Amino acid sequence: MSRKYKPTVVHTHIAPAVIYWFTRAALSTCRLTVVDGAYFEERGRAGKNMILASWHNRLVTLPYYYYFTYGFTNLAMMVSQSRDGEMFKRLLARYKITAVRGSGSRGATSALRTLLRAARAGHDTSVALDGSKGPRYRVQSGVLMLAKMTGVPILPVTIDATRKIRLKTWDRMIVPLPFSRMFAVFGEPMTIPRDAVDLEPYRRRLQDTMDSICARAAMGVSRNREWFPSSHALHGEAAHSDAGDGHVHE
């Protein structure tokens, strides 16, 4: 492993512990509203696996709610092969979630194979719909191939918060603040036939579903802004849209 990607003690011990306890403490003060979550809970309780599909910047809270709110411990998530990926691998282990390494051109095929094995073994899986590098809020083909090759349904989900900060990363990662009201909105599950040749109709359908549920989550956030000072709810940016991307998301 090159020096550039060799993890340090910060990546292997300090950062995972700090992020875990900060996230757990912050989210424990938040109130969660779940919209159309019956399919997720019923399928999870029945031990039937699914592919949880969301945008890259919405995944940070998924492990917490998956583990602490629902008590599920059957998830495999893909993380990058970078030093940050090593950090997230160790963070996910604290939630009893399996990390699958691979992203972009480096290890993506191997990671997909590993996710295929995990899904076929009965694990829930989760892959960011817009990949590890974007473009942000644009569905890529990886999750479609995973669903087609396994027959496991894709379950779209988005999570938003009334009080949050956005990191200066390519995806504008959303980090909820304490005492937020959280909105988790699920879309209709989608199954892709194994003999499907053209995946573009499924990609467009999934894109439309994500745009729709993100707009619904944004509506919940907008209607609850008066519960908190506007400066905390907005943080200098509109809470329900991303400037210039043409889609209502936040």
Q: Has residue 237 been placed in a domain?
A: no
Q: Distances from the Cα of 138 to the Cαs of 97, 114, 142, 188, in angstroms?
A: 26, 23, 12, 18
Q: What distances in angstroms separate CA 52 from CA 104, 194, 211, one per listed residue?
A: 19, 19, 16
- pLDDT digit string (tens) for 203-234? 999 999 999 999 999 988 988 743 333 222 32
pLDDT > 90 fraction of the chain, expressed in percent and rounded: 62
244 in a domain, yes or no? no
Please check whether residue 248 lies inside any domain of the structure.
no
What pLDDT shows up at residue 179?
95
Average the pLDDT over each of 87-91, 138-142, 181-185, 242-246 and give the range with the smallest value: 242-246
Quote the domain boundaries for residue 207: 9-226
Is residue 90 in a domain? Answer: yes
**The pLDDT of residue 245:** 36
Q: Is residue 50 part of a domain?
A: yes
- Residue-level pLDDT at 238: 31
52 occurs within a structural domain: yes
Q: Which residues contact 143 (CB under 8 A, 6 or more apart)?
A: 51, 53, 127, 129, 154, 206
Whether residue 195 is predicted with pLDDT greater than 70 in this model: the reply is: yes
Q: Mean pLDDT over all residues of the chain?
A: 84
Residue 28 has pLDDT above 60, yes or no: yes
Residue 104: what pLDDT?
53
- What single-letter amino acid sits at 201? P
**Domain-embedded: residue 247:** no
Numbers of helices and strands, H then E, in the chain: 9, 9
Angle at 157 between CA 152 and CA 161, to 5 degrees: 160
pLDDT tens-digit series, residues 137-180: 999 999 999 999 999 999 999 999 999 999 888 899 999 999 99
Q: How many distinct structural domains can be found in the chain?
A: 1
Reported as a pLDDT band with limits 50, 70 and 90, residue 107 is low
Residue 25, pLDDT > 70, answer: yes
Amino acid 197: pLDDT: 95
Is residue 102 a part of any domain in this protein?
yes
pTM: 0.83
Is residue 191 within 8 Å of 48, Cβ to Cβ?
no
